[in-house]
Amino acid sequence: MSKEYYPGASISEIVKGHPLVVKQGRVEVGNGSLYYEEAGWGEPVIFVHGHSLDHRMWDEQFPVFAKKYRVIRYDLRGYGISSSQTEDYQFTHAEDLVTLMDSLHIKKAHIVGLSLGGFITADMLAYFPDRMLSAFLASGNIRKSKGPSEPMTPEEARVRDKEIAALKEKGVDVMKKEWFEGLMKSGGSQRERMRESLWQMIDEWDAWQPLHKEVRVVAGLDAIEKLKKNHPDVPALIVEGHSSGNRFSKEPPILQYLPNGKLKVIDDCGHMLNMERPEEFNAALEEFLKNVQ
Distance between CA 224 and CA 137 in Å, rounded?
15
DSSP label of 211: G
Q: Do residues 150 and 246 touch, judged by C-beta distance below 8 A?
A: no
Q: How far apart are CA 107 and CA 102, in angstroms?
A: 7
Contact 73, 55 (CB under 8 A): yes
Entry pTM: 0.94
Three-class DSSP category at 26:
strand
pLDDT attached to residue 293: 67
Q: How far apart are CA 54 and CA 52, in angstroms?
A: 7
User: Which pLDDT score is estimated for 249?
Assistant: 87
Give the domain 16-292 fold: Rossmann fold (3.40.50)
Q: Report pLDDT for 18.
A: 62
Residue 14: per-residue pLDDT: 60
pLDDT at 20: 80
CA-nearest of 276, 280, 285, 286 to 57 is: 276
CA distance 157 to 214: 10
Largest CA distance in the chain: 52
CA distance 169 to 8: 42
Low-confidence stretches of the chain (pLDDT beneath 50): 1-10
- Per-residue model confidence (pLDDT) at position 17: 64
